[in-house]
């Protein structure tokens, strides 16, 4: 392995690297890597729980979250393309030492919550498919994620993107298959597009689904992916790359959004009213019993692919965050160990893995404003973006999305503290 962390974002803006003019199709890829974060095992737990408990009630949450994600991921990639720096690196430049450490601390909590979902989810999949003990399964997921990251280190960014896109395709097949034979009530599904909640628990699940869809580490990551793929971009090429980036984000999140909605619809159709569906293993058993062995197998394979791919992508994000905020290069294996140990502890002490996944997504939801607010601020600063600064409409939309998330989080915390049922 020639490199153990993502490449440093230090190219000089006065010496852009020469490159042949690639077609728009060949410029796609970074957003598909970031999109894996939107279909990780935390999404599986949150979406299956929501569908099993509330049927089609929370479909609107996934639709709204995906629309927000399109805007957020576009702005993150745009920031990287135009500035030549990742979001964490730009924050590191603007914060004092104590502020950088504090900011990294909350980002590291987000990374731990992310890794908990991915490692635990992958371990559950290995137990479902091969009856591997959960703790051993968690270790296997961690090791395989390092192998996947070695592709980026030894072969470069493009091969890594191809591998992750392959995993994304497996995830999509695994979770969309159930809709082919499932008995979805499309009328009720359409009714779920109307915003509504039923008590505190539905709000907790809504926050969990939001945190699982608009993930903080994906916001930090996409800017780094853009820099690592394109380096410092000549100003004349930026409009073309931004156009390609819009297609990249839209296509990748159509895939991720479809998978998320499919999970909820599958749960609403096959799991509602069934006993034993409060865990992923139980949900898998009911899906297999109701929809057949093939669908159950594809479900397990999709969950495993989700855990492995998202774990690798999460480690990539963690290294980029640490590099940008702490200004140090930490080998991926150490970054991986720091964020993986809490997940292994959860598996070792026997905490309900499915509920741990759902709660991890609530933590991620609480971390979204810390990534989103600086992103909106930086992309509307002419000193950073030049002529590519955000227009008024995009700024208003982004601020509205950030405000919605913050308000939801404040309400969530108030309800949980007050213990309102």
Residue 3 domain flag: no
How many beta carbons lie within 10 A of that of residue 1, not counting itself? 13
Residues sharing a CB contact under 8 Å with residue 305, sequence separation 6 or more, in sequence order: 167, 170, 171, 174
Supply φ then ψ for residue 372, to 5 degrees.
Answer: -75, -45
What is the distance between the alpha carbons of residues 170 and 341, in angstroms, rounded to a whole number?
27
What is the distance between the alpha carbons of residues 210 and 404, in angstroms, rounded to a whole number?
11
Number of Cα atoms under 13 Å in the Cβ half of residue 418: 9
Q: Which two tokens stand for residue 340?
A: 């993986």
Residue of 256, 241, 240 whose CA lies nearest to 34:
256
Q: Which residues of 55-68 are buried (b: 16+ CB within 10 A; e: fewer)?
A: bbbbbbbbbbbbeb
CA end-to-end distance (rounded Å), the chain: 53
Chain position carrying tokens 């865990």: 279
Residue 391 domain flag: yes
pLDDT tens over the chain, length 421 residues: 334 444 444 433 434 444 455 677 788 899 999 999 899 888 888 888 899 999 999 999 999 999 999 999 999 999 999 999 999 999 999 999 999 999 999 998 888 888 888 899 999 999 999 999 999 999 999 899 888 888 887 888 889 999 999 999 999 999 999 888 888 999 999 999 999 989 888 888 887 788 667 888 899 999 999 999 988 889 999 999 999 999 999 999 999 999 999 999 999 999 987 877 778 899 999 999 989 999 999 999 999 999 999 998 988 888 889 899 988 877 777 777 778 888 889 888 988 887 787 777 778 878 888 999 999 999 999 999 999 999 999 999 999 988 888 887 777 777 666 764 4
Residue 290 domain flag: yes
Per-residue pLDDT, 245: 95
Per-residue pLDDT, 55: 95
- The 3-class SS string of 95-143 reads CCHHHHHHHHHHHHHHHHHHHHHHHHHHHHHHHHHHCCCHHHHHHHHHH
Domain hosting 143: range is 27-418
Residue 14 domain flag: no
Domain count, the chain: 1
Q: How far is CA 170 from the centre of its chain?
A: 16
The answer to whether 79 touches 90, Cβ cutoff 8 Å, is: yes
Residue 261 domain flag: yes
Per-residue pLDDT, 13: 40
Q: Which two tokens stand for residue 3?
A: 């490199």
**What pTM value is reported for the model?**
0.88
Residue 351 domain flag: yes
The answer to whether 265 touches 176, Cβ cutoff 8 Å, is: no
Chain position carrying tokens 């994620």: 145
What is the distance between the alpha carbons of residues 302 and 44, in angstroms, rounded to a whole number?
10
Domain of residue 350, CATH code: 1.20.1740.10
């Amino acid at each position: 392995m020639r490199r153990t962390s993502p490449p440093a974002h230090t190219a000089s803006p006065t010496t852009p690297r020469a490159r042949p003019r690639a077609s728009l199709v060949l410029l796609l890829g970074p957003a598909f890597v970031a999109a894996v974060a939107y279909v990780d095992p935390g999404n599986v737990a949150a979406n299956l729980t929501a569908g099993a408990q509330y049927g089609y009630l929370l479909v609107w949450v996934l639709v709204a979250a995906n629309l927000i994600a399109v805007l957020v991921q576009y702005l993150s990639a745009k920031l990287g393309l135009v500035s030549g720096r990742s979001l964490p690196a730009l924050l590191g430049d603007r914060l004092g030492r104590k502020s950088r450490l504090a900011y990294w601390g909350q980002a590291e909590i987000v990374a731990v919550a992310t890794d908990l979902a991915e490692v635990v989810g992958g371990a559950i999949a290995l137990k479902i498919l091969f009856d591997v003990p959960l703790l051993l399964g968690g270790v296997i997921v961690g090791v395989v994620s390092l192998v996947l990251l070695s592709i980026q280190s030894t072969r470069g960014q493009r091969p890594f993107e191809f591998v992750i896109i392959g995993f994304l395709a497996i995830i999509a097949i695994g979770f969309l298959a159930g809709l082919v034979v499932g008995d979805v009530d499309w009328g009720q599904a359409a009714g779920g597009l109307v915003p509504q909640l039923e008590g505190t628990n539905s709000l907790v699940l809504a926050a969990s689904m939001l945190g699982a869809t608009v993930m903080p580490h994906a916001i930090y990551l996409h800017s780094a992916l853009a820099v690592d793929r394109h380096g410092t971009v000549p100003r004349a090429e930026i409009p073309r790359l931004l156009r390609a980036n819009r297609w990249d984000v839209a296509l990748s999140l159509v895939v991720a959004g479809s998978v998320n909605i499919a999970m909820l619809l599958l749960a609403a159709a096959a799991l509602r009213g069934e006993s034993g569906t409060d865990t992923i293993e139980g949900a898998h058993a009911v899906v297999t019993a109701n929809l057949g062995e093939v669908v159950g197998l594809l479900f397990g394979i999709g969950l495993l692919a989700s855990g492995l791919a998202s774990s690798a992508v999460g480690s990539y994000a963690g290294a980029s965050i640490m590099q940008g905020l702490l200004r140090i290069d930490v080998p991926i294996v150490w970054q991986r160990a720091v964020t993986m140990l809490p997940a292994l502890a959860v598996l070792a002490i026997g905490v309900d893995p499915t509920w741990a996944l759902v709660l991890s997504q609530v933590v991620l939801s609480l971390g979204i404003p810390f990534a989103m607010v600086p992103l909106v601020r930086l992309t509307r600063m002419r000193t950073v973006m030049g002529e590519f600064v955000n227009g008024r409409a995009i700024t208003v939309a982004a601020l509205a999305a950030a405000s919605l998330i913050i308000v939801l989080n404040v309400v969530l915390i108030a309800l949980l503290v007050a213990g309102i049922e």
